[in-house]
Amino acid sequence: MVNYIWLFMIVSGVAAAAFQGEMDVVTQAALKGAKDGVAVCMGLISILVFWLGMMRIAQDAGLLKALARLLSPVVRFLFPDVPRDHPAMGYILSNMSANLFGLGNAATPMGIKAMEELQKLNPDPKTATPAMCTLLALNTSSLTLIPTTMIGLRMELGSANPSAIIGTTIVATFCSSLAAICLDRWFRGRMARRIQT
């Protein structure tokens, strides 16, 4: 599916440029995109280095295991095929709690760590497992309690009540996360049935 979306964006972009007779826009846009991609990764380095360091302390101190045990009913429901005491559980939980508190920067390294642990359970390292899809679904629908960036932006723009959107955001994010979990379950079940037959 990513293959098609990717191809679709490029081909329709080139077609649009050809239609307008401005082919050079494509080249410029491509170079700009490539530059942005590297810039984002460079920005990620500092965050990854810092939070992965903190996470290692938490792991060595047994914090991740404690967290996983505390919230295991939730995670066991969401990730039925990950063994109970697997290190992935702790990372998944830290990722979820970081997202919940709107610490997007801190959530990424933990999510990546969780993916690495899930990859160890993966029989085919090139193909995602259902557990990986669930983790991704949880992250793309981003269960958020405090939309910090938006509140800040509204404050800057002179809103009378910048945090007025917290309530609506919580309801909306809850709906999209619920949808993500249900859809994930549905696709997972459909795939399992297809393999059986």
- 107-146 positions binding other proteins, by CB under 8 A: 108-109, 111-112, 115-116, 118-119, 125-130, 132-133, 135-137, 139-142, 144-146
Task: State which of positions 57-76 bind other proteins (CB under 8 A).
Answer: 57-63
The answer to whether residues 145 and 96 touch, using CB atoms and an 8 Å cutoff, is no
Stretch that binds other proteins, among 67-75, 76-84, 85-93, 172-180 (CB under 8 A): 172-180
The answer to whether residues 185 and 154 touch, using CB atoms and an 8 Å cutoff, is no
Contacts of 177 (CB under 8 A, 6+ apart): 138, 141, 142, 143
Using CB under 8 A, pick the residue from 79, 87, 88, 102 that binds other proteins: 102
Using CB under 8 A, pick the residue from 71, 86, 121, 165 that binds other proteins: 165
The answer to whether residues 138 and 156 touch, using CB atoms and an 8 Å cutoff, is no
Min. distance of Cβ 148 from other proteins in angstroms? 6
Return the number of the residue (78 or 180) whose C-beta is nearest other proteins.
180
Min. distance of Cβ 79 from other proteins in angstroms? 14
Integer Cα distance of 64 and 11 in angstroms: 45
Query: How is residue 49 written in tokens?
Result: 């280095």
3-class DSSP state for residue 46? Answer: helix
Using CB under 8 A, pick the residue from 70, 85, 153, 196 that binds other proteins: 153
Return the number of the residue (89 or 177) whose C-beta is nearest other proteins.
177
Integer Cα distance of 88 and 81 in angstroms: 11
Return the number of the residue (60 or 197) whose C-beta is nearest other proteins.
60
Phi, psi at residue 35, to the nearest 5°? -65, -45
Integer Cα distance of 125 and 132 in angstroms: 11
Phi, psi at residue 130, to the nearest 5°? -55, -40
Task: State which of positions 17-36 bind other proteins (CB under 8 A).
Answer: 17, 20, 22, 25-26, 28-30, 32-34, 36
- If binding is defined by CB under 8 A, does position 6 make contact with other proteins? yes
Min. distance of Cβ 78 from other proteins in angstroms? 13
